[in-house]
Amino acid sequence: MSLNQKVSTVNKLHFGTGGSPHSSASHSSVDGVKRIAELGLDCMEVEFVYGVNVTDTVARQIGTVAANHNIRLSVHAPYYINLNAREPEKIKASQARLFQSARAASLLGARDVAFHSAFNMGDPPEQVYETVKKGLVEVLEQMERSNIKVRLRPELMGKVSQFGALNEVLRLAGELPGVTPCIDFAHWHARTGAFNSYDEFATMLSQIKERVGEAALKEMHIHVAGITYSAKGELAHRNLRESDFAYRELLQAFKDFKVAGLVICESPNLEEDALLLKRGYVELK
C-alpha cells in the first residue's frame, strides 16, 4: 500500500501546502494541484492573498483537475479583512472579500474558507467579539441567499493584537452554524509562549471536542509551520526543523484523537515540511 493510500483510506488526515508547491511547473493553482499529486500529498489551500482574482471558468478548471487527482482543496481568503475596522466601508469591503472567497471555494469544489477575522484595535474583547459575530452573520445570510454551502473558518491567530484567540474561535463555532475554526497550532504556541507539548495539544483537541462537538475533530482544517515569536506573539514562519515547534508530539495527538481533515503546511519550504509531516504521521505506530 502506498503512502497516499494509507493516509487517504485509513487515517483520513490529508496533508498539503498553503498555495502551490515551490517545485510546481508554475505558480498557477492548476500546476500546483498537479504537483501536489506527483509528490504524494493530498490537499492544497488555494491562496487568495491579495484578492479573489480567479474567473469562474478557471475556478471550475482547478476543481476538475483536483477531483481527477483526488486532491482536496480549501481556500484562504485575502489578508485584507478586518471585521472590526473603524470605518463602515472597510467592514463592508471585508465582508465582500469573504463572500467572494466563499463563492470561489464553491466553484472550486472546496469545502472550507480560512480567514483572518479582525484586529482588536484596542477595543474591549467582548465588544470585538460581538462586532465580528455580527459581520459574520451578515456574510452567512448572503451565502444562504446565494446557495453557497461552504464552511467559514476563522483562524486561530498568532498575535495578541489580532482577534482569534482559541476561546474566541471556538465560541464563534459554537454559536454560528456554518462557522468552524481553522486551528493554527503554531500560531497559538507563538501567542501564548506555551502549548508546545503533547499534553497541551491534547488539551486543545479536547476543548474543540467539548465546545464544538466530536464531529469537528473529523473535519478539521489545520495550519502547521515552524515559527518564531516574541512577547507580542508571532514574528515569522520558519521551517519545522529550524524552530522549536514540537510537531512530532502534535502528530501523535492527531493519531490518538483520531483527527481527520486537512493539514496545511505553511513553512517557508512548503512541500518539504508537508512531506515531513505526512511521513511522520504515517510512521506512527
As a whole number of angstroms, the distance between CA 45 and CA 232 comes to 27
| C-alpha atoms less than 13 angstroms from C-alpha of 247 in its C-beta half-sphere | 29
Q: Among residues 105, 51, 121, 110, which one has the least CA distance to residue 79?
A: 51
Residue 285: pLDDT band (50, 70, 90) is: low
Query: Looking at residues 71-90, what average pLDDT do you find?
Result: 97
Q: What is the mean pLDDT of residues 192-215?
A: 97
Mean predicted confidence (pLDDT) in 34-58? 96
- Residue 256: CB partners within 8 Å, gap ≥ 6? 202
High-pLDDT (> 90) share of the chain, %: 95
pLDDT at 266 over 70: yes
Burial 230-260 (b: 16+ CB within 10 A, else e): eeebbeebbbbeebebbbebbbbbbeebebe
The predicted pLDDT at position 41 comes to 98
In contact, 39 and 17? CB cutoff 8 Å:
no
For residue 6, name the pLDDT band (cuts at 50, 70, 90).
very low
Tell me the average pLDDT of the chain.
Answer: 95
- Sorting pLDDT into bands at 50, 70 and 90, what band is 115? very high
Mean pLDDT value of segment 212-224: 96
pLDDT at 198: 98
Predicted local distance difference test score (pLDDT) of residue 8: 40
| Predicted confidence (pLDDT) at residue 210 exceeds the cutoff of 90 | yes
Is 250 a residue whose pLDDT tops 80? yes
Cβ atoms < 10 Å from Cβ of 65: 18
Q: Does residue 10 have a pLDDT over 60?
A: no
Segment 228-253 shows an average pLDDT of 97
**Alpha carbons 77 and 131: distance in angstroms, whole number:** 19
Please list, in sequence order, all residues whose beta carbon lies within 8 angstroms of the beta carbon of residue 152, skipping any fewer than 6 positions away: 98, 102, 113, 115, 136, 139, 140, 178, 179, 180
- Residue 32, number of CB atoms within 10 A of its CB: 31
Instruction: Determine the average pLDDT of the residues in 121-142.
Output: 98
Q: CB of 66 within 8 A of CB of 8?
A: no
Mean pLDDT along residues 230-248: 96
Q: What is the DSSP string of 86-98?
A: SSHHHHHHHHHHH
- Per-residue pLDDT band at 2 (split at 50, 70, 90): very low
How far is the C-alpha of 100 from the C-alpha of 115, rounded, in Å? 12
Amino acid occupying residue 183: I
**Which phi and psi angles does 256 have, rounded to 5°?**
-70, -35
> What pLDDT does residue 7 have?
36
Q: Are 42 and 4 in contact (CB under 8 A)?
A: yes
What CATH class does 3-283 carry? alpha beta
